[in-house]
Structure formats: structure tokens, C-alpha cells
Structure 1
Amino acid sequence: MLFLVVIVSASGTDIAADLSHGAGLTHLLQEITILLFALIILSLLIFDNFMKKSQIRQLKEELEAAKNMPVPESVAVLAARQQLSQAIDEQFTEWQLTASERDVGIMLLKGYSLKEIAALRGTADKTIRQQASAIYQKSGTPGRHAFSAWFIEDLL
């Protein structure tokens, strides 16, 4: 974006200088075209950045809302949730997942997409894909669905 801002300001300055020096119409049209093209691309980048920040904010709000969901009153449900959480943690330890892989693994089990996980963790999509692949390899599962099923198949 900084590069485009430099192009826009330089083009604007150059057009103003060309106008004061009586440059030809063809040259001015070329300069104006470059300026408009740079402005359009800059606008699209700013809009995309705004949309991504909005999406991250929404995902964080959803995550916070999920954390603040009312806890089930049933003792049996609470015990089952605690046992599942403990079983997941123990299995992650057995698979020797790193701290980052554990975080990604939990978010995968919660149903977040790789893109959403990247946004929530503030990392590149490629990094999350690599961590997910490492999780599947260490767990011996072929992919996301098998990874999730590994934990809940017997419960159902």
C-alpha cells in the first residue's frame, strides 16, 4: 500500500508540474491513467484490509461468545466434557504436538476453517495449513474429518 501511495502522490505531483509546463495531451492522459489505476488498486487494498479486520473482529466475538456460553447444569454433561477435554489433551501429548499445533488442533475440533484459524491466530494461511498437515501426520489421520472423528467416533 505504501508503494501505491508513493505512486499516487508522485503521479499527482507530476501531473500538476506537467500542466504548469504545458505538456502534451497524450502525456497527460498517460499520467492520469497511471494515477487512476493506482488509486483503484489502493482503494481495493484498503477495502480488502477493512473487510479482513472486520472478519477477524467478528470471529473473535464469536469465539468469546462461545467461551461465555452457559455451562450445562447437568453433572453428567459437565463430567463428560471434562473427560473429553482431558482425553484430547492426553492424546495431543502422546502425539507430541507442539503448543501451536495443540491450539490449531483444538480450533480444528471446534470446527473453524483453516482461514478462520489463521485470522484468529494472526498468522498466514500457509502456516496453519502446514501445522494442520503436521497434526494429521502425527495423529496418523488422513485429514480434518478423520482427525475429528478420532475423538468422537466411539462417543457416538
Structure 2
Amino acid sequence: MKFWLPQEKRFYFFLIYVLLVLLWIMEEILTFAFDIVWIERSQAYFTTIEAAFGFLSIIGLYFLFIEIKHTQNDIESAKVVIEGLRNKNQLLTHTNQSFWESFQKQLEEWDLSDKEKEISMLLLRGMSNHQIAAIRGKSLKTIENQTFSIYQKSGTTGKLEFIAYFISPLLPEED
């Protein structure tokens, strides 16, 4: 996300701010250099300048706060992208290992149980929960609970995303 105030307007805001700082400095110099009566007559003018200076400072702090929030959001988005690339790269960096060795290593990192690893293998092969339940001789509800646990531990939301996690690094980049 970008700063919501356009670059040109930010420049004008800064220019006004610098002008007010210069006027404020000039007021301080005049206070010491000239007759006190003249200063008292122009006090309203100088008070207005100081008030504008304070007001613009508050507005500047608000803009800075907004920019920090947007930057934090950008950092969080970048972290998600980096993590995705790291996961993608993990399979690609092990070119001397087979796909299944990389798959097993990832399952270990997710700390899956042996039963969950077996079910993960069947999920990756495209089998449905009904098919896995029949192969393993378990109830459908047990398999659904175990697949839900696999998805939670892997940070995926379902079967397609789980399969895509392992397959997408092997696909060529889109142009």
C-alpha cells in the first residue's frame, strides 16, 4: 500500500511546514532585536504562526502514523510471500533428492504422526476421504479428523491447497 497523500501534496505540505518554521525563527529573532511595543502589536500574528506550526506538526505526525501502519502491512505481506517462496524453494533446492524424500522431510517439519504421514501420502495421490477410510479400514469420521489435523499442521485449508503446496514448485513459472 502507498501513502494515501499524493507525492505532490506531500511536497506542498512540507514546503508550508518549512515556511512556518522560518517565520517562527524570524519571530524569535525579532523578539530580541526590536522594540517591545512593536512585538506586542504583532503578537496575534506570531501566535497564529505558532498555532499553525503546531497544527501542521500534529497533521504531520498523523501522516507519519498512517505511513507506519501501511509499512507494517507491507512487511506482513512480504513475510507471507517470503515464507511461500521459502517453502517453494525448499523442494527445488533438494534436486539431488527425490521428490518423495523432500515430501517426507516436509512432513517431518510439520511434526505429523506416522498415521498422518500415511494419510498425507494418500491425499497427495488424489484419494478421497472415503477411499482412504476404505484402504485403512477406519471410519470416515476418523479420516476426516486426521486430514483436518494434517491441514492445520501444514497451514493449508484443504486437500487442493495441500496438494498444490507440493506440486506448484515443480511447475514452470507463468509468463
TM-score (norm. length: structure 1): 0.48
TM-score (norm. length: structure 2): 0.42
